[in-house]
Structure 1
Amino acid sequence: MRNTPSADRLIRDWNGLPARLLDVRFKRLEADERFRFGGSSSAAFVLVSSGKGHLTLGKETAYSFDGAYAIHISCRSELALIAEHETELYLFDYTFPGTNCMNEYSKESADLAFAPSDLLELKRSFDLLLAQWHGLKTLDQLRLRSHLYESVHIFLKQQQESEKNKTANPEDRRVLRALRYMIGHLSRTVTLAELAETAGCGTRRLSQLFRERFERSPLQVLIGIRMRQAKKDLKSTSANLQQIAEQVGYANAYSFSRQFKQSFGLSPEQYRRSDASVHRLGESDSTSASASARLLSDLQAAENIGHEAACLPAAEVRTKHSSPPIGAPDVIIPGPTRTVSTVMGNIEIPDRPRRIVTDWSIGHLLALGEQPIGAPSTLTDNAGLLDAYWNAAPADIGRHNEISYARIIELEPDLILTWNREAYASYARIAPTLVFESDHCGGMENEMHRLGQWIGRKKEAEAWIRQARLRTYNLRSRLAARFAKPATFTLADPYWCDAQVTLIGNAAYRGGRAVYDRLNLSSPSSLGRMLAGSGQDYARVGESELEANLGEWVLVMNYDASHNLTSAPQWNREAVARRHRIVDLPWNRYFQSDPLSSLLQAEELTQMLDRPFSPF
Structure 2
Amino acid sequence: MDIEQYAALWDNRPIRLLDVRRYEYESNQVPSSQICPSNTFLYVTRGRGIVWLNQEMHRVDTCYAIHGSQGAHLSVIADEAIELYWVVYMFLGPLPVEAADLNAHFGMQLSYPSPLLEHVVQLQKQWENIDYLERIQSTAQFYQWLYELLKQIRQHRALALSPDRTMQVIGYLAEHYKEQITVEHVAVIFHCSPRYLNRLFQNRLHTSPGRVLSQIRMAQASRLLRQTEATLQNIAEQVGYANGFTLSRYFKKNFGISPMSYREQLKKHGPAFEIGAGDLGSAVKVWLGTDSEGTANRANSKSIETRTRTIATPMGSIQVPDRPSRVVVDWDIGHVLAVGVTPLGAPHSLIGSKEWFAPYMNAEVNNIGNHNQISLEKVLELEPDLIITWNPCAYASYARIAPTVVFQSEAYQTVAEEIQAMGHILNRKKEAANWLDEFARRISLVRHHVSTYVSSERTFTIADPNWSEHVDLVGNSKGRGGRAAYELLGLKPAEKVRREIMEQRLEYAQIERSAISRFLGDYLLMLNSSQGSPSAQSMLKSELDKKPSCEVIYLEWNKYFLSDPLSSLLQAEEIAQRITAVGPIPMR
User: TM-score, with normalisation over the residues of structure 1?
Assistant: 0.47
TM-score by length of 2: 0.49
